[in-house]
Amino acid sequence: MTSTNGSSEGNKSSNMDVSEDIRELTSSSDALRQVENGVHRLSEASRREIECLVGELMTLHKKLLSDGDRIQHDIEEYAELNQHVMQLTTIIVDSVEKLPRPRIN
């Protein structure tokens, strides 16, 4: 009977060890899933943040291009206006030079 009881107690102990191992594996598996989910959420949040930053950079890039075009256009207009002012100044100087000089007695 001792061997039967010993064997029976060994089976109970073995079954308890297996049950404990299963609980540990299940707990480890749950912990692993939680870590994976956490990493997934973190990577998803990082991806969305990067996409948002890229969108903002693209918007700023378009604004810089637009502002650059506007400034270039303003410079061209200023240069043209400056050229006209120089031409008008030349005309005025030429016209003043053609005026009769007053005679001093």
Which pLDDT does position 1 carry in this prediction?
Answer: 43
Q: Give the residue with greater pLDDT, 41 vs 84.
A: 84
- Helix (H) or strand (E) run with residue 12 in it: helix 2-98
C-alpha 11/C-alpha 56 separation (Å) is: 66
| Listed residue (100, 21, 26) closest to 34, CA to CA | 26
C-alpha 23/C-alpha 2 separation (Å) is: 31
CA angle (80, 83, 85) in 5-degree steps: 110
C-alpha 84/C-alpha 92 separation (Å) is: 12
Entry pTM: 0.52
Which pLDDT does position 78 carry in this prediction?
Answer: 98
Condensed to tens digits (0 to 9), the pLDDT of residues 13-25 reads 666 777 777 777 6
Which pLDDT does position 53 carry in this prediction?
Answer: 97
| Listed residue (78, 97, 100) closest to 89, CA to CA | 97
Q: What is the mean pLDDT of residues 34-57?
A: 89
